[in-house]
Chain A
Amino acid sequence: MKRWLSTFLVTVLGVSLLAGCSAGGSEAGGSGEQIQLELFSNKSESIDTYKQLIEQFEEKNPNINIKLSAPPEAETVLKTRLTKNDLPDIISMGATQTYGELARAGVLKDFSDYKKLETIQPAYVKMIGKVVGPDKEGVFGIPYATNANGVIYNKTKFEKLGFEIPQTWDQFISQLEKAKQAGEIPIYFTLKDPWTAMVTWNSLGANLAPDNFAQLKNQGKATFQEEYKDVAKHFLQLLDYGQKDVFGVGYGDGNKAFANGKGVFYLQGNWAIPEIVKANPDVKLGMFAFPATNNPEKNRLVSGVDVLLTITESSDHPEAAKKFIDFMLKKETAQKYTDEQAAFSAVKGVFQKDKTFEDIKTNFENGTITGFPDHFYPAGLQAANLVQAFLIKKNTEQFLKKMDTTWNKVLER
Chain B
Amino acid sequence: MKRKTMPYFLMAAPALALFFLFHTYPLLQGIFYSFTDWKGYGDWDFVGFKNYLNVFQDKRAWDAYLFTFKFAVVSTILVNVISIIVALGLNAKIKFRKSLRAVYFMPNILSILIIGFIFNFIFAHFLPDMAKSLGFEALSKNILGDPDLAWIGIVIVSVWQAVAFNTILYLAGLQTIPSDLYEAAVIDGAGKWKMFWTVTFPLIAPFFTINMVLAMKNFLMVFDQIMAMTGGGPGTSTESISLLIYRGGFSGGEFAYQSANAVIYFIIILVVSIAQIKFLQKREVEL
A interface residues with partner B (beta carbon < 8 Å): 73, 75-76, 79-80, 82-83, 97-98, 101, 105, 107, 191-194, 244-250, 253, 378-382, 385-386, 388-390, 392-393, 402, 406, 409-410, 412-413
Closest A residue to B251 by beta carbon equals: A76
| List of B residues within 8 angstroms of A75 by Cβ | 251
Known: A82-B41, A105-B42, A392-B234. A249 touches B252 (CB 8 A): no
A379 close to B142 (CB less than 8 A): no
CA distance A245 to B129 in the complex (A): 13
CA distance A381 to B251 in the complex (A): 10
CA distance A390 to B254 in the complex (A): 24
Which of B14-22, B84-92, B143-151, B175-183 is near enough to bind chain A?
B143-151
Closest B residue to A192 by beta carbon equals: B145
B252 close to A385 (CB less than 8 A): no
A249 close to B257 (CB less than 8 A): no
Looking at the complex, which one of A107, A388, A406 makes contact with B60 (CB distance below 8 Å)?
Answer: A406
CA distance A76 to B41 in the complex (A): 13
| List of A residues within 8 angstroms of B230 by Cβ | 192
CA distance A329 to B29 in the complex (A): 43
CA distance A279 to B145 in the complex (A): 23
Within 8 A of A (CB), among B144-181: 144-147
B41 close to A389 (CB less than 8 A): no
| List of B residues within 8 angstroms of A191 by Cβ | 145, 234
CA distance A191 to B251 in the complex (A): 21
| List of B residues within 8 angstroms of A247 by Cβ | 142, 145-147, 234
**Interface status of B206 (Cβ within 8 A of chain A):** no
| List of A residues within 8 angstroms of B48 by Cβ | none
B252 close to A83 (CB less than 8 A): no
The smallest C-beta distance from B121 to any residue of chain A, in angstroms, reads 9
B142 close to A248 (CB less than 8 A): yes
CA distance A380 to B261 in the complex (A): 14
| List of A residues within 8 angstroms of B124 by Cβ | 192, 248-250, 253
A249 close to B236 (CB less than 8 A): no
| List of A residues within 8 angstroms of B57 by Cβ | 409
A192 close to B144 (CB less than 8 A): yes
A413 close to B41 (CB less than 8 A): no
A409 close to B58 (CB less than 8 A): yes
The smallest C-beta distance from B262 to any residue of chain A, in angstroms, reads 15
Most chain B CB within 10 A, of A75, A80, A379, is at A379
A413 close to B235 (CB less than 8 A): no
| List of B residues within 8 angstroms of A250 by Cβ | 124
CA distance A253 to B142 in the complex (A): 12
| List of A residues within 8 angstroms of B51 by Cβ | 413
Looking at the complex, which one of A248, A386, A410 makes contact with B236 (CB distance below 8 Å)?
Answer: A386
| List of B residues within 8 angstroms of A388 by Cβ | 233-235
Within 8 A of A (CB), among B13-62: 37, 39-42, 50-51, 54, 57-60
**Interface status of B141 (Cβ within 8 A of chain A):** yes
CA distance A192 to B253 in the complex (A): 24
B252 close to A245 (CB less than 8 A): no
The smallest C-beta distance from A331 to any residue of chain B, in angstroms, reads 35
A382 close to B248 (CB less than 8 A): yes
Looking at the complex, which one of B60, B235, B236, B253 makes contact with A101 (CB distance below 8 Å)?
Answer: B253
| List of A residues within 8 angstroms of B141 by Cβ | 244-245, 248
| List of B residues within 8 angstroms of A379 by Cβ | 251-254
| List of B residues within 8 angstroms of A393 by Cβ | 235
| List of B residues within 8 angstroms of A192 by Cβ | 124, 142, 144-145, 230, 233-234
A382 close to B247 (CB less than 8 A): yes
A389 close to B237 (CB less than 8 A): yes
Most chain A CB within 10 A, of B51, B146, B233, B236, is at B233
Looking at the complex, which one of A97, A385, A412 makes contact with B54 (CB distance below 8 Å)?
Answer: A412
Most chain B CB within 10 A, of A98, A248, A253, A379, is at A248
CA distance A97 to B253 in the complex (A): 10
CA distance A83 to B33 in the complex (A): 13
CA distance A236 to B37 in the complex (A): 38
CA distance A76 to B234 in the complex (A): 21
Known: A244-B141, A392-B234, A409-B58. A382 touches B252 (CB 8 A): yes
Within 8 A of A (CB), among B192-243: 230-237, 239
Most chain B CB within 10 A, of A98, A194, A378, is at A194
The smallest C-beta distance from B80 to any residue of chain A, in angstroms, reads 31
| List of B residues within 8 angstroms of A97 by Cβ | 253
B252 close to A392 (CB less than 8 A): no
5 example contacts (A-B, Cβ-Cβ < 8 A) are as follows: A245-B142, A247-B146, A248-B145, A388-B233, A413-B257
Closest A residue to B250 by beta carbon equals: A76
